[in-house]
Amino acid sequence: MIHDRFVYLIGGRSANGPVNNVQVYDVDRDTWTPATPFPGTPAFGMAGGVAEEEIVVVDGAKPGPSSGPRYLPSDECWLGKIDHKDPTKIEWSKLPAHPGTARFGISAGGADRDHRIYFSGGTLTPHDYKGASYDGTPAEVSSVTFDYDLRGHKWETLDENTVDPRADGRGLLETPLGPVVLGGMVKNLAVTSRVTLFAKK
């Protein structure tokens, strides 16, 4: 969210498959408005956050080949600069690959105070709501926590062996103590209500 008002929804899935749409929700007016689509491969299950009027969004699931798995992991990373005057106008540019191997269901969120977007967990393979991968392999949760430094324009690995890593946390909340993940799916594919605080670099 920017200006305590605008919330961004990026990517997703339609009846025809993954999309690269970007929508903005105006909290004050209770309205949705289309924004500049990201120019990458359409995907769902992406992760991202907003800070300092910039968006960083990564990974997700893209359509697989007709003879293979229904969905494959996407490894694209994008930076979006939001126009100061028009929250629906975004200038997108591609970023290099992020640290670690998670590609789907990463928990993520932005922190204006730290000038960073935080990412943690996720799985290498796209999976359904039960944790079953579309390619038939078990969904294993990544233990990598990393961030994107908006001022330094670089990825940073915070922890390669995160304690109690998650997938499908649906968000990462910044607190005075550091980034927090609420709930999600843990290593044994069980749903958890635990709250985990991740140490910052």
pLDDT digits (tens, 9 = 90+) for 87-123: 999 999 999 999 988 789 999 999 888 899 999 999 8
Flag whether 48 is in a domain: yes
Percent of the chain with pLDDT over 70: 97
Q: What would the pLDDT profile of 173-200 be if each residue is shown by its tens digit?
A: 888 887 888 888 887 778 888 888 876 6
Beta strands in 27-142 (DSSP E): 31-35, 47-51, 54-58, 61-63, 71-73, 77-82, 90-95, 107-111, 116-120
Q: Select from 104, 109, 106, 123 the least CA-distant residue to 178.
A: 109
> Residue 90: which domain range?
6-197
Say if 55 falls within a structural domain: yes
Can you spell out the DSSP letters for 8-59?
EEE--EETTEE---EEEEETTTTEEEEEPPPSS---BS-EEEEETTEEEEE-
**Is the pLDDT assigned to residue 16 strictly greater than 70?**
yes
In a domain, 148, yes or no: yes
Please report the pLDDT score of residue 199 as a whole number.
64
- The pLDDT value given to residue 191: 85
Q: Tell me, rounded to whole angstroms, the distance of Cα 96 from its chain centroid.
A: 15
Tens digit of each residue's pLDDT (9 = 90 or more) over 47-72: 999 998 999 999 999 988 888 788 88
Q: Is the pLDDT of residue 201 over 60?
A: no
Mean pLDDT of 75-83: 95
Domain tally, the chain: 1
CATH classification of the domain holding 43: 2.120.10.80
In a domain, 123, yes or no: yes
Span 142-162, average pLDDT: 93
pLDDT at residue number 149: 96
**Is residue 1 a part of any domain in this protein?**
no
Is 43 within the bounds of a domain? yes
Is 107 a member of any domain? yes
- List phi, psi (to 5°) of 156: -135, 130
- Confidence at 3, pLDDT banded by 50, 70, 90: low
Q: pLDDT at position 200, please?
A: 62
